[in-house]
């Protein structure tokens, strides 16, 4: 089994090598990592991923914004392949929380809060405003525990900061997307 990074617009963008790194399929795709201003960021720095499809002559995609954030690797892969690598695909920009102090919180950061809790089956964090998040929890066994609420609030305050208002909701389930994916983080802020 191996990992691939792909999109419905262009197909496979990068594929995993024996060393576990994602090599960009440079024969098909040109990929850029840019900052908020649309200018390239150095390798090793997070940015928005833009792709140019090198084969689609009917409807060329040039500097197409996938809506994903990622990091281009700053050093060659130890596997010896000459292709550049994606150091990390962070995920959808609409899945990233932007905080009042300009920090960014990624879905993985939130997963570290909830997945270790044995009573939590699923969760979803929805950012309505810069300083307001709503957390939906599906517990493995029904019923809420005040100590669980306190623990979650404390851990979220540590991750998000005291200026962010947090509301907890409990549900029987969280709907999945038509693609079959479960979004653990949704930002309703403009990207």
CATH number of the domain where residue 47 is located: 2.30.38
Confidence grade of residue 191 (pLDDT, cut at 50, 70, 90): low
Write the pLDDT tens digit of every residue in 56-103: 888 889 999 988 889 999 999 999 999 999 998 887 777 888 899 988
Domain's final residue, options 93, 125, 145:
93
Where do we find the tokens 């850029």? Answer: 32
Tally of domains in the chain: 2
Domain that holds residue 33: 4-93
Confidence grade of residue 132 (pLDDT, cut at 50, 70, 90): very high
- Say whether both 85 and 128 belong to one domain: no
**Given the DSSP bridges, would you call strands 97-98 and 104-105 parallel, antiparallel or unpaired?**
antiparallel
How far, in Å, CA of 56 to CA of 64, rounded? 13
**Partners of 186 in beta bridges:** 126
Where do we find the tokens 């090198």? Answer: 54
Which burial class, exposed, middle or buried, applies to 158 when counting CB atoms under 10 A from its CB (0-12, 13-18, 19+)? exposed
CATH number of the domain where residue 106 is located: 3.30.300.30
**Partners of 99 in beta bridges:** none
How far, in Å, CA of 136 to CA of 167, rounded? 9
More confident residue, 177 or 61: 61
Write the pLDDT tens digit of every residue in 26-67: 999 999 999 888 899 999 998 999 999 998 888 889 999 988
Where do we find the tokens 């005291």? Answer: 162
DSSP state at residue 185:
E
- Say whether both 120 and 182 belong to one domain: yes
According to the model, what pLDDT value does residue 1 have? 67
């Amino acid at each position: 089994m191996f990992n691939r990074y792909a999109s419905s617009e262009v197909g496979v963008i990068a594929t995993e090598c024996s060393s576990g790194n994602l090599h960009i399929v440079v024969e098909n795709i040109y990929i850029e990592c840019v900052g908020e201003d649309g200018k390239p960021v150095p390798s090793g720095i997070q940015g928005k991923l833009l792709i140019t499809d090198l084969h689609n002559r009917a409807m060329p995609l040039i500097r197409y914004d996938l809506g994903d954030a990622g990091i281009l690797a700053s050093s060659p892969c130890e596997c010896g392949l000459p292709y550049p690598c994606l150091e990390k695909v962070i995920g959808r920009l609409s899945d990233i929380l932007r905080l009042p102090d300009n920090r960014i919180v990624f879905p993985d950061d939130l997963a570290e809060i909830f997945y270790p809790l044995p009573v939590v089956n699923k969760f979803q964090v929805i950012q309505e405003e810069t300083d307001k998040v709503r957390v939906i929890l599906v517990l493995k066994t029904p019923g809420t525990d005040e100590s669980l609420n306190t623990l979650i609030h404390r851990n979220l305050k540590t991750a998000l900061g005291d200026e962010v208002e947090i509301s907890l909701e409990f549900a029987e389930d969280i709907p999945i997307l038509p693609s079959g994916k479960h979004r653990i983080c949704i930002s309703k802020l403009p990207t």
